[in-house]
């Protein structure tokens, strides 16, 4: 089960730098997680200041 990034994202980029499989990239309005690449490790959620990454 992959993580996704909610509307609370403030586009700080902390999650992208933390992802071990490079599944996170900047989207038009907020960062996005590629569900096919995400390994559900939760690293992104642990560094997010607004708790935007959430498990699906």
pTM over 0.95: no
Among 3, 10, 13, residue whose Cα is nearest residue 38: 3
pLDDT at 8: 98
Instruction: State mean pLDDT over 26-54.
Output: 97
Q: For domain 3-55, which CATH number applies: 3.40.50.620, 3.30.70.20, 3.40.50.1370, 3.20.20.110?
A: 3.30.70.20
Residues 6+ apart with CB under 8 A from 27: none
Percent of the chain exceeding pLDDT 90 equals: 96
In whole angstroms, give the CA distance from residue 40 to residue 33.
Answer: 11
Q: In the prediction, which pLDDT does 1 show? A: 83
Task: Reply yes or no on whether the pLDDT at 28 is more than 90.
Answer: yes
d(CA 31, CA 45): 13
Q: What's the mean pLDDT in 25-43?
A: 97
């Amino acid at each position: 089960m992959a993580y996704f990034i909610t509307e609370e994202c403030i586009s700080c980029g902390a999650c992208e730098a933390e992802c071990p499989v490079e599944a996170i990239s900047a989207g038009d309005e907020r960062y996005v997680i590629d569900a096919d690449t995400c390994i559900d490790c939760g690293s992104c959620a642990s560094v997010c200041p607004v708790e935007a990454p959430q498990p699906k």
